[in-house]
Every structure is written in C-alpha cells, then in structure tokens.
Amino acid sequence: MNDNDKQSGDGGGNGPNPWMKSLLIWVGILLSLAIVVTMFDGRTSAATGNSIAYSAFLDKVDEGTVKDVVISRDQISGTLSSGEKFRTDPVSDPALTDRLRKAGVEISGKRDEGPSIWQYMLVQALPFLLFLGIAFFVVRQMQKGGGAGGAMGFGKSRAKMLTQKEGKVTFADVAGIDEAREELEEIVEFLKDPSRFARLGGKIPKGALLVGSPGTGKTLLARAIAGEAGVPFFTISGSDFVEMFVGVGASRVRDMFEQAKKSAPCIVFIDEIDAVGRHRGAGLGNGNDEREQTLNQLLVEMDGFEANEGIIIIAATNRPDVLDPALLRPGRFDRQVVVPRPDIEGRVKILEVHMKKVPLAPDVDSRTIARGTPGFSGADLANLVNEAALTAARKGKRLVAMAEFEEAKDKVMMGAERRSMVMTEDEKRMTAYHEAGHAIVALHEPASDPIHKATIIPRGRALGMVMRLPERDSYSYHRDKMYANLAVAMGGRVAEEIIFGYDKVSSGASGDIQYATGLARDMVTKWGMSDKVGPVDYAQPEGESFLGYSSSQPTHMSNETAQLIDFEIKSIVEGGLARAKTVLTEHSDQLHLLAEALLEYETLSGDEIKKLIAGEGIGRVDQPKKSSMPTVGTSIPKTRRPQGPFSNPSPAGA
C-alpha cells in the first residue's frame, strides 16, 4: 500500500491542513478581485484635488485666481493662487484656451496612456484564472468527500486495510458455528505456517465463500480472521466496485489486486459479493455493461494467466443462487463455507458470549432462553440480550433477571405491546375468541407445536397473537404437521363464525389466510404432497424477470395443470378449515372458557392455558381482574384494522 492509501481522514498524514488550503484559495480569489478594482479605479484615484463644477472653474479663471491647469481628454486639473488643488470634468468649449491665455493661466496638456501590456494581459486572463481557481476548489472538495481516489480517482480501489488496535475480534468471540470456524481457522494456520501443508503438496486456498442467512455471523467471522491471521487484511463491499461510469469497476479491481500484491501474503474480504458477482446474461443489459465488466476482471484476477500468489479472497453473501458459476468454481472460490443458523447448543454458546458484558441475576439460565428461541440467528440473540439489558435499565434494576429476558423475547418475536391503543369492547371480545380459536385447535392437534403464549394485547401490527414454539430444533416437516398448521391457521376465522355468525366474520384472518395459502401452494408445487398433481416441481422460478415482470405460471406448465394446482390448493386450505370447525364445534365450552380468561387476564402462558382447559385454577394472585387496555363504546366500526396471524416460527411453508 502506498503512502496515499495510508492517509487517514484527518488531513492526509503530514501534509498541509485542508482547512488552510481552502483558506489560501479564497484569499487568492479576493486578492485578484482587489487588483482588478484597483486597476480600473486607478486613474480616478490618481487624480487629486477638490472636484468643482465647470462653471465655478470658469468663474475662478475670470477672477484670476487660477494659477495653472493641466488639460487631458477626460479631466481638467490645476492649482489655485492659494495653492489649493482642484479638478473638474471638461465640456466642449472651443474658447477655453483663449480665455485661459487672457487670464494668464499656465496651460499644460496631458496624454492619456492606456494600460501596460502586463495590465492588459492580467485583465484578459483574470476571468479564466478565477474560473480555474473555483474549479480547483470544487474538485478538492469532491476529492475529500469521495473517499480513496476522490473525483479524479474513480479507478482507484476503495479497499481499506483493517487495523483493530481496540475491540479486536478473535475466534474465541465466534460461537455457535463451529464447523465454519474450523474451516477458516485452517486458512489462518496456513498463513502462519505454510510449510506444514506444503510438505505434503498442499496449496493455499485461493478463495473462501461464506454463505448464510442475514445475521448468522459471516462478517463477524471475517473480523475474527483479521484478528487472528497476523497478515494485512483488506476489506471492501461489493457495491464499492460499481459506478455509473463504464470501466470504473474493472479499474478498481485491478488497483485492489495491485495493492494486495504489495502486501502479500494478505487477505481481501469482499462483503455482499452478489452486488458485483451476479450471473452474467441475466435480466437486462448485455456483456458490455459495467457490472459484467467488473465481474470479468475479478474472474481474471482471481485465476487468470497471471497468478496472484499469496492473496486469499474471502467473500460473503446470502444469495449464492444468483452468483455466476465461473465465480464459484474451484481455483477461484475453492471453498464454500456454509454459515447456518445455530442449533440449541450453538444458541447457548452465543448467548453466553453476549451475556459476559451484562450483569445477570442468579435465575438467568441461558439454556432455557436458547430452548425458547428456535430459528434465532446470532444477530437476533445479540439483539435479545441487548433488549433485556435495556428493559432492566428502564425499570431501574441493577441486574438483568429472567423476567427481562422473557419480556425481551416476547418483544422481539411478537413486537412491542401497544397498551395505549383504544379498542371497543366488541373488538376485544372478537379478538379474544379469534385467538382462543387458534389456541384450542392447537391443543387438540397432536402434530401441532406446543403453545408458548396467547395474548389479546396489540403487538406490532396484530391485535392479538398465539405463539407456538417447537420443543426441539426441526430440520424437516411432515405432512401431518403441515395439516395441523393449516387447521390452527383457520381456527381464528372459524371461531369468529361460530360465535358471532357468518355476517360478522372480520378481516382479522387475512394474515392467517395468506399463511395457509402459501403453505398449501408449497405442499402442491414444491413438496409433491398432492396425489392428483403428483411429485412434480411446479414452483415458480426465483430467477430474475424481464422488465420486472414475471409470469405467475411456469413455462413448463399447461393451463389444465395450473387449474388442477389451484383446485388442489383450495382443497387443502378448505380441508384445514373443516378440521378447525370440527374441533371447535366439539369443544365450544373450552373456546368460551379460554376467551373469557383472555378477556380477564389479557395474556396467558401455555402452561396456564393447559391448566385452564384441565379445570385447574390459573393460580394468579398479582394479576388485576380488569383489563389494563383503554376501551371506548360498544359497537364494532365498519372498517376493522387487519388482525395479525397466529405466530408460527417454524419455517414450514415459509
């Protein structure tokens, strides 16, 4: 890396202060303007004496008080007998000379001299110089705001060498993704001791692609590599390569590898590489557009005729499906390291890493929290711990207890409570029966996940919610569980129809219907769970569309097949509706019991719901017996706010 690349943003190393440069430029502009004003006003300021009218001048000549005069083309100046200087503007007066001679006035003439050649050149060149100075000032400002290279250095790489004097991240700070960490640890060991692998003919990998969902820790792994490797570490985003000017991205790729060669062995980390590495030929544009030129240059630099030994490329993306196949082949990215969402053991380790910075109460159990957060990524768990700490701080506590973690978990999963929302009594009652319908169907569907919590307190965009949590991490889902999920989804709508009648069914089930339709569509088109359609993939391709338009029907599907698929989707959803209606009709007493309990307590846990259905008391002594939510009136408004679906964190059908 050259000296220019090492300059920081505080003024460019030991060079002049940018503020002083700007000041000098403005001082130069003001001095130039002052010179022009002085030049054009010089002849006026050079003349001395009091200015008098021409008639007064003639009167003084007739009185004999004028001693001498100097006549020029645009001015008459002279001296009075008293020694006082005067000047006046001439007029067309042919008799003036005779009049002066008769009065005995000494007459002199003065030739008007034009500006010198230097003055003339300065006057002519001054506008150009002013324009040049202003343009230089503007360019300097653009360079300061444009990062590396600035306005005049579009082709320069924006890769930054990462230095972590404080807050250094190591592999000890990475938890829950042990397999991915082990693969990258091997690269670090190769950099530290290449002879250990070279003696058996092993070569250093040229690239490693980190693939995973957002928040799983890809960038954190890269920071850990930077902290552990002990070699120069350059970092850049994929979007930093591409500009509106054609050829700029390819130039930046070349410059980045030139910098890396000077510091080899080194590591270059490209975050969100899908911004520049998308499949060539997809969508609009041809092979001559800027993004594809940048990708072509990256392919050549990674594995072309000139080998870049000692440069390891590590890239991260959550969209590996859109990357160009030439970028993924061995020799460019030799390894694809999958960074998955952590399992329960991984979540325990991640929670313990983040809990080190938080003062915990004795009742906090990281494993219990991990069991209740299936599907959470590392970023989600970090946010959960932070929310718990903020909640404890708002309450004025010195330690973060399990209650704060439960409250934070509900906030992250279901959204913040909206207790200030005004609802009518009828709306609250309908919401209670809607959520009770979900809960009762879930209790009587053996394949359904256990209920974690039911509430009629508005959270986020939902008026109420039933949250279910799986007892363990699941990686595949069976047909019986999908049918159970469909029945639970329809439970809220069925409960409204049973209790309030056909005409009083509300729009609150819109989210439930959307979930059920999506799940049924996946069952038919992706997972082959329809006997009439068969085990054939009819799913809509997820590739790029032309002009943003994509047909709702795959090209390999006939109209008859599309109609059959629609019929099967409708049949599956209506089957879930029928199952929910059967359960709620048989257990209508439990539906009334749970709805009344929700109206009284507003929020019930899964264990409390089970006790209530079993005929046992809930056992609350600190819960007020009246609602804490404000209510107005008793009539249901004509336009209801859409009610959110029951919470189902499992990815089945997602």
Answer yes or no: is 639 a known binding residue: no
Residue 434 in marked binding region: yes
Of 290, 301, 435, 445, the catalytic one is 435
Tell me how far CA of residue 396 lies from CA of 193, 363, 399, 410, in angstroms: 52, 18, 9, 20
Nearest to 497 by CA among 434, 444, 439: 434
Residue 435 annotated among the catalytic residues of the structure: yes
Give the three-state DSSP class for 93.
coil
User: What are the tokens at 48?
Assistant: 């001395």
Euclidean distance between CA atoms 449 and 489, whole angstroms:
13
Contact predicate 441/588, CB 8 Å: no
Number of Cα atoms under 13 Å in the Cβ half of residue 209: 23
Ligand-binding annotation for 218, yes or no, is: yes
Paired with 603 in beta bridges are: 455
- Output DSSP code: residue 645: P
Q: Is 16 annotated as a binding residue?
A: no
* Beta-sheet pairing, 160-161 with 233-237: antiparallel
Q: Helix 479-500 crosses helix 425-444 at what angle (to 10 degrees)?
A: 150
CA 493 and chain centroid, separation: 38
Helix and strand numbers, DSSP H then E, in the chain: 21, 14
Residue 213 annotated as binding? yes
Residue 359 marked in a binding site: no
Instruction: Report whether 644 belongs to an annotated binding site.
Output: no
Angle of helix 479-500 versus helix 510-525 axis, rounded to 10 = 150
Residue in 283, 267, 280 with CA at minimum distance from that of residue 316: 267
202 marked as binding residue = no
- Give how far the C-alpha of residue 64 lies from the chain's centroid of Cα atoms, to the nearest Å: 90
83 is in an annotated binding site: no
620 CB neighbour count, 10 Å cutoff: 12
For residues 163-200, one letter each, b for 16 or more C-beta atoms within 10 angstroms of the residue's C-beta and e for the rest, the string is eeeeeebebeebbbbeebbebbbebbebbeeeeeeeee
Residues of the binding site: 212-219, 434, 438, 512
Residues of the binding site for Zn(2+): 434, 438, 512
Active site residues: 435
Residues of the binding site for ATP: 212-219
